[in-house]
Amino acid sequence: MFCVGICDDSQEARLHLRARLERVLEPHRDMDRVLEFSSGEGLLRWVENHPGELNLIFLDMEMGQLDGMETARRLRQIEESLPLVFVTGYTEHVFEGYTVGALGYLLKPVREDQLKEVLSRAAAALLREEEEVYLCRRGDVTYRIPRKKILYFTSDRRQVTCVTTEKHYTFYGKLDQVEEELKDSFVRIHQRYLVRTQAVQQISGSQVLVGGQTLPISRSCQQAAMIALTRASLEE
């Protein structure tokens, strides 16, 4: 599910952009959803509670109390790689967006040909980012979790939980499959645990300390786990 956010304090502007977005995305309606936000504050609250869910944000620069630039700066503190596209009615604001790593800008009223071009660049940026994130899906929501923030995965029956420095993500799957997808930078220490090698703080006998949590190393995984963890500590 490709999830797009529109943040503008003008309802008319949001409806205008949404209508054009939905026309452009029409062939892929089963894969996309569009969310609207009427303020920077509302967008920031939502992103804090739903990290990794938005794939692209269209952000109005001329909003009221919290303008687009300040909203973008705060967004970067929550999700540093989230693609942003500024929407503005004034050409003099165009170059300001690049100071926060904006993907581009659109001038109001937004034209469909410009929208197609920026969506194409957003898709390419997300594709380049795939080596740096782990994708997992629950229901209609696809999470893009930065790998460097992952501490470990744990499984319970048919559910896998990804534990990060900020949040837990639970989805249906098998730990064997997660291990196959992540490979080198993660190591299996137990039937139920897969840890990111660089996140391990301490190794003590048959246990490791990860994010302040003590996890067991099983006898069957001990040799391979110790080799991988030792190699990772030497590479730091």
Task: Quote the CA–CA distance of 53 and 47 in Å, as a whole number.
Answer: 8
Residue the block writes with tokens 């509670």:
49
**Residue 205: both structure tokens together:** 């006998």
Which pLDDT belongs to residue 148?
87
Shared domain for 128 and 16, answered yes or no, is yes
Query: What is the domain extent for residue 96?
Result: 2-132
Q: Residue with structure tokens 């039937």?
A: 191
pLDDT at 98: 62
Spatial CB neighbours of 213, under 8 Å, sequence gap ≥ 6 = 151, 152, 163
- Residues of the chain predicted below pLDDT 50: none
Q: What is the pLDDT of residues 156-179, one digit of tens each?
A: 988 999 999 888 999 999 999 999
Retrieve residue 121's tokens: 């660049």
The total domain count for the chain is 2
Calculated CA dihedral for residues 7, 10, 16, 20, nearest 10 degrees: -10
pLDDT in the model for residue 234: 66
CATH number of the CATH domain containing 28? 3.40.50.2300
- Asked if the bond preceding 83 is cis, omega within 30° of 0, the reply is no
Same domain, 122 and 170: no
In a domain, 155, yes or no: yes
The end-to-end CA distance of the chain, in Å, is: 36
What is the Cα–Cα distance from 124 to 11, expressed in whole angstroms? 30
Contact call for residues 191 and 217 (beta carbons, < 8 A):
no
Task: Mark whether 160 and 99 lie in a shared domain.
Answer: no
pLDDT of residue 130: 66
Q: Which of 177, 137, 95 is nearest to 2 (CA)?
A: 137
Residue 137 parent element (H or E): strand 133-138
Within-domain flag for 113: yes
Contacts 24+ apart (CB under 8 A), 198-205: 198/148, 198/232, 198/236, 199/150, 199/151, 199/152, 200/229, 200/232, 200/233, 203/229
